[in-house]
Amino acid sequence: MSSEKDKMLSQKPYIASDPELSKERIYAQKTCFKINSISPEFVEERNNHLKKLLGSTKENFYIEPPFHCDYGYNITLGKNFYSNYNCTILDCAEVKIGDNVMLAPNVSLFTAGHPIDAEKRNQGLEYAIPITIGNNVWIGGNTVINPGVNIGDNTVVGSGSVITKDIPANVIAAGNPCKVIREITKEDQNFYFKKRKF
């Protein structure tokens, strides 16, 4: 018989209040509390706690506290990862983040979901679907990434977006729900910021 953790990791309905999962979430919460309580100048100490908490990290990652996650061990970070303040990752399923990814303040990644049917939802059932972010991606502030979303390489997501479906590579996307606005072109290499009239 599968444990609730096995069900969670295999994208099947599971009971999140299961004692094993509850214990693991408490561990993650306690570790995040430590990380968020460390004085800002002690980056190495903070990163050592993050390395123990997260599934894997590569060189040159920097997470501005406060940071929150459900379990930690389902999060994989590529090299040169940067997250600004108030990053929240509900990592009930795998969250795979590529190289050179930047998250602005208040970005939230939610692999967790609940049944639409109220009766099933009231039974305490949840599900979790992985999220993948490619290489060289920039996510604007106050963006929410929902379960099962994949974001392609080199893409930029505008602030305040709610991403409910996959976003392809090499585009600018924004909105609620988030949609592709246009492709990124060679002309964009000439501008460090949005083209403006002065």
Could you list the active site residues? 114
Integer Cα distance of 176 and 90 in angstroms: 20
SS3 32: helix
Q: How far apart are the first and last CA of the chain?
A: 66
φ/ψ of 145, rounded to 5, equals -110, 120
Distance CA 167, CA 112 (A): 19
